[in-house]
């Protein structure tokens, strides 16, 4: 058997060598266009070979000199699942920076690391999943409900903010459009109307949302990534939309994506999504051949899964033609050529990025900058910042949990600085630490015993808790009180933590809470008894350092919430209802605990009334406090005659740095298209002539008196 394997390997190597030594065939000629090269290659492939190239792991075809290829890599907040890499804060924390320029710098660093690791893998002959240059990110689904476990992968609840952040991700990953070769491929996912629940995503049918919600909430970010950022991949979602699986939806893929928006690049299935067409799940296709044909005919070019192996049988049966196969495969071949797969490294500039960029000091500092800017001070009665002489008791399950800080779809950092380590570096013997409780249950044994004498001796208790990526995420085998299959059944802080915080408060201690989570947690009881609350998210490899810097005033907090923090479960509609009624700051009628866009500073700011003229909005911002700091100016609109529309919608933002007493006049481009809204009369998204209210402020709730603007 061993001799047989060696003989087969040598034969394949000889074929590959012969193909490479022979005169170049047209598809191997770098001077031709990618389209010409793809057409030539299509003419040389058998149907079986074509089908093999339409799956996420594509084998080598030695007779044509085609190397092995893999489409599936992850880069949600750093190169994921591929060994050592810089682990940036989760995307929710990136969104909290309201700094899309920073996000583009982050993903430029991520694609640098990805290219370097790809070159290492190719040289070592270890090119497989998670080592290629096709990154299945960003997740630009709208985080409509805080119970969705994958919401931590998104950029929040607002379509505009999500679009700006998503565009930045794509630009950072794919590199400049002026170059012949793409640095990497980015992927806008999951198309479309996808945000939980996780437990039923393989059978769920979203068939009762309005055209308005589709066009005004669920699609805008995808449209921006397609038309502005020229994203090279779009991933279709698991569930059905209007009775058709998303990967087999002509309405979504054919009419909207490829038709209305003119998208000409790749559509990839979510993993196993085409298998979901079969009986027992969606049941829209009778057998594997039909499932493969339905997906290809709709325009799903690449399958992550197993059903496209049935493409030859589907062609033989007449379910689709070879021309249908060629249409999809042509896009895939052009993609591989754009990434330099068929050309020598010497003419693909991105292959020269050195391995020293991986987990480099500049990239780690970039992760720290994102954690600093994305940490949100939710409330503070003046207790913060602390001074270095403070005696601190650090209690709680996330204080020393380095793995939780990595989020999900993560890489592995060289070193993670937890809050306990960061505080110990500053306080030494003035710090007492005890875990106290697990996330959802009491601890057993002496590890759960808190030395109450040490706690009583402390000046301040810092409670570091919340939840963890082990409880919220993608389709997880979790069934615990408040958590099910990756989602949350309740957004309340787990009861064991709530009781411990109450106990610490009742002991007469001042309590600062650091909440770590991927989404909103209902903290109403804690808001009444804690002296300060910090939202630390899952802060990446230096998240603990960033929180410590804020606690001691070394950094002035400036993060803003990209989601609404509701008061309790009672504020939430039915999780399975995709209508936007009552959801997010745009439609929620209640009193949010911490509204969208909220975030405090150690200084104070005054944001004036906006002035709109010639496609620009101008706002005066003043630092009225005693410390230098950053404010995020947020611009919202509302169409006056749109009674059924959003209460307000974010349409511009700008992060501004100000010294104490300094004033700046901030001017932001806001072209006429910024006033695009749903028009019920034409049932379309367009700029409707008429009156609009323009609002500026520090959050969606802290805004100036509306200014009337006429748009023609």
Sign of CA dihedral 556, 561, 564, 566: negative
Q: Which two tokens stand for residue 574?
A: 């039915």
203's tokens: 């059978």
Q: Which residues have CB under 8 Å from 184's CB, separation 6+?
A: 75, 111, 114, 115, 133, 134, 135, 173, 174, 175, 339
Concatenated DSSP letters for 341-386?
TTS-GGG-GGGG--GGGTT-HHHHHHHHHHHHHH-EEEEESS-PSP
In three-state secondary structure terms, 663 is strand
The counts of H helices and E strands in the chain are: 19, 27
Radius of gyration for the alpha carbons in the chain, expressed in angstroms and rounded: 26
The sign one gets for the Cα dihedral 65, 54, 261, 153 is: negative
Please check whether residue 370 is in contact with residue 97, taking contact to mean a CB–CB distance below 8 angstroms: yes
Beta partners for residue 665, in sequence order: 620
Contact call for residues 34 and 342 (beta carbons, < 8 A): no
Query: Which of 570, 576, 577 lies closest to 592, judged by CA?
Result: 570
For residue 561, give the DSSP letter. Answer: -
Whole-angstrom distance, CA of residue 603 vs CA of residue 626: 6
CA distance 151 to 157: 9
Residues 6+ apart with CB under 8 A from 572: 145, 146, 147, 491, 566
Instruction: Give dist(CA 649, CA 159) in Å, integer.
Output: 9
Instruction: Give the relative orientation of helices 543-551 and 419-427 as an angle to the nearest 10 degrees.
Output: 50
Q: Is 25 helix (H, G, I), strand (E, B) or coil?
A: coil
- Do residues 580 and 213 touch, judged by C-beta distance below 8 A? yes
Tell whether the torsion through CA atoms of 353, 357, 359 and 365 is positive or negative. Answer: negative
How much of the chain is helix, strand and coil, in % rounded to 5?
A: 35, 20, 45
CA distance 39 to 44: 9
For residues 623 and 627, what is the distance between their CA atoms, to the nearest angstrom?
8
269: Cα separation from own chain's centroid? 18
Burial (Cβ within 10 Å: 0-12, 13-18, ≥19) of residue 203: middle
Pairing of strands 392-395, 431-434: parallel
Active site residues: 270, 472
DSSP single-letter state for residue 625: S
Query: What is the per-residue DSSP string for 67-120?
Result: PPEE--BB-SSSSBSSSB---PPPHHHHHHTT-HHHHHHHHHHHHHHHHHHHHH
Distance CA(466)–CA(190), nearest Å, equals 27
Count the Cβ atoms, other than its own, within 10 Å of residue 645.
18
């Amino acid at each position: 058997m061993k001799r047989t394997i060696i003989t087969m390997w040598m034969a394949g190597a000889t074929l590959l060598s012969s193909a490479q030594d022979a005169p170049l065939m047209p598809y191997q000629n770098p001077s031709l266009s990618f389209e010409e090269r793809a057409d030539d290659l299509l003419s040389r492939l058998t149907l079986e070979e074509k089908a093999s190239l339409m799956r996420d792991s594509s084998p080598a075809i030695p007779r044509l000199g085609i190397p092995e290829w893999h489409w599936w890599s992850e880069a949600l907040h750093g190169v994921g699942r591929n060994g050592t890499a810089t682990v940036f804060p989760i995307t929710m924390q990136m969104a909290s920076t309201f700094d899309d320029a920073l996000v583009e710098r982050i993903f430029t660093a991520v694609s640098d690391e990805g290219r370097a690791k790809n070159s290492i893998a190719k040289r070592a002959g270890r090119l497989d999943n998670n080592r290629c240059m096709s990154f299945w990110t960003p997740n630009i689904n709208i985080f409509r409900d805080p119970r969705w476990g994958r919401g931590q992968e998104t950029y929040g609840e607002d379509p505009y903010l999500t679009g700006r952040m998503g565009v930045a991700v794509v630009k950072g990953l794919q590199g400049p459009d002026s170059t012949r070769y793409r640095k990497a491929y980015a992927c806008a996912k999951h198309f479309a109307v996808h945000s939980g629940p996780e437990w039923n995503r393989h059978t769920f049918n979203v068939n009762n949302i309005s055209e308005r919600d589709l066009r005004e909430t669920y699609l805008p970010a995808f449209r921006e990534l397609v038309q502005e950022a020229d994203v090279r991949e779009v991933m279709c979602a698991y569930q059905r939309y209007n009775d058709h699986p998303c990967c087999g939806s002509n309405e979504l893929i054919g009419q909207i994506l490829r038709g209305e928006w003119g998208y000409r690049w790749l559509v990839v299935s979510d993993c196993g999504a085409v298998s979901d067409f079969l009986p027992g799940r969606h049941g829209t296709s009778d057998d594997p051949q039909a499932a493969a044909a339905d997906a290809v005919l709709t325009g799903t070019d690449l399958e992550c899964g197993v059903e496209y192996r049935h493409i030859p049988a589907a062609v033989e049966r007449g379910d689709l033609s070879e021309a249908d196969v060629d249409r999809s495969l042509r896009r895939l071949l052009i993609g591989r050529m754009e990434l330099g797969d068929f050309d020598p490294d010497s003419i693909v500039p991105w292959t020269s990025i050195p391995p020293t960029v991986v987990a480099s000091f500049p990239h780690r500092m970039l992760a720290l900058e994102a954690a600093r800017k994305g940490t949100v001070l939710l409330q503070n009665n003046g207790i913060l910042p602390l001074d270095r002489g403070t005696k601190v008791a650090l209690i709680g399950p996330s204080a020393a949990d380095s793995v939780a800080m990595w989020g999900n779809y993560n890489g592995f950092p060289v070193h993670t600085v937890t809050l306990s380590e960061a505080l110990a570096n500053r306080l030494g013997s003035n710090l007492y630490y005890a875990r106290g409780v697990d996330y959802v249950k009491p601890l057993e044994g002496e590890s759960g015993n808190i030395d109450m004498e040490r706690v009583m001796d402390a000046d301040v208790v810092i409670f570091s808790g919340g939840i963890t990526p082990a409880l919220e995420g993608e389709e997880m085998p979790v069934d615990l009180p408040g958590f099910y299959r990756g989602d949350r059944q309740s957004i309340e802080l787990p009861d064991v933590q709530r009781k411990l915080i109450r106990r610490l408060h009742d002991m007469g201690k001042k309590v600062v809470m650091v909440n770590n989570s991927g989404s909103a947690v209902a903290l109403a009881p804690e808001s009444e008894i804690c002296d300060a609350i910090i939202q630390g998210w899952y802060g990446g490899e230096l998240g603990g350092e960033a929180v410590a810097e804020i606690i001691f005033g070394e950094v002035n907090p400036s993060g803003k919430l990209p989601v609404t923090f509701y008061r309790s479960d009672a504020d939430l509609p039915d999780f399975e209802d995709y209508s936007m009624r009552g959801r997010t700051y745009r439609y929620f009628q209640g009193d949010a605990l911490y509204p969208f866009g909220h975030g405090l500073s150690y200084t104070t700011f005054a944001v004036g009334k906006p002035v709109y003229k010639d496609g620009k909005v101008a706002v005066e911002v003043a630092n009225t406090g005693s410390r230098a700091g950053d404010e995020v100016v947020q611009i919202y609109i509302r169409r006056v005659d749109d009674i059924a529309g959003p209460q307000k919608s974010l349409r511009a933002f700008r992060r501004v740095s100000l010294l104490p007493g300094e004033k700046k006049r901030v001017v932001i481009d806001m072209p006429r298209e910024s006033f695009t809204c749903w028009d019920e009369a034409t049932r379309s998204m367009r700029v409707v002539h008429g009156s609009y209210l323009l609002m500026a402020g520090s959050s969606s709730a802290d805004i100036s008196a509306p200014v009337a603007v006429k748009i023609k």
